[in-house]
Amino acid sequence: MEIMRVVRDLVTTKRNFWLAAKALRVVEDHQGNLSVALDPIGCKPGDFVVTIGISAARIAAGNPKITTDMTIGGIIDSWSEAEWRT
């Protein structure tokens, strides 16, 4: 698991069947690296989140058939920029 910040929504025109109704978000780690994560909980840009990776990401998405290697597992209620960048 890793703490990341949601940067923006990701819009796609065509998707795999299992991803058809799922939201995708661009997330940033503390070093500024961008990734794409499946969002089953409804985050908004600027939220700090906990991401789940590898095969556990499929389980966190609610269906092991979903093709994802990163899923947002929760929104952090209280986290500051200073804590994140260290």
Q: What are the pLDDT digits (tens) for 44-79? A: 999 999 999 988 888 888 888 888 899 999 999 988
User: What is the predicted pLDDT for the residue at 84?
Assistant: 65
Going by pLDDT thresholds of 50, 70 and 90, the confidence category of residue 28 is: very high
The whole-chain average pLDDT of the chain stands at 88
Identify the three-state secondary structure at position 18.
helix
Is residue 80 predicted with pLDDT exceeding 80?
no
Domain limits of the chain?
A: 2-85
- Entry pTM: 0.85
Spatial neighbors of 3 by CB under 8 A, at least 6 apart, are 30, 48, 49, 50, 51, 76, 79, 84
Q: According to CATH, what is the number of the domain 2-85?
A: 2.40.50.220
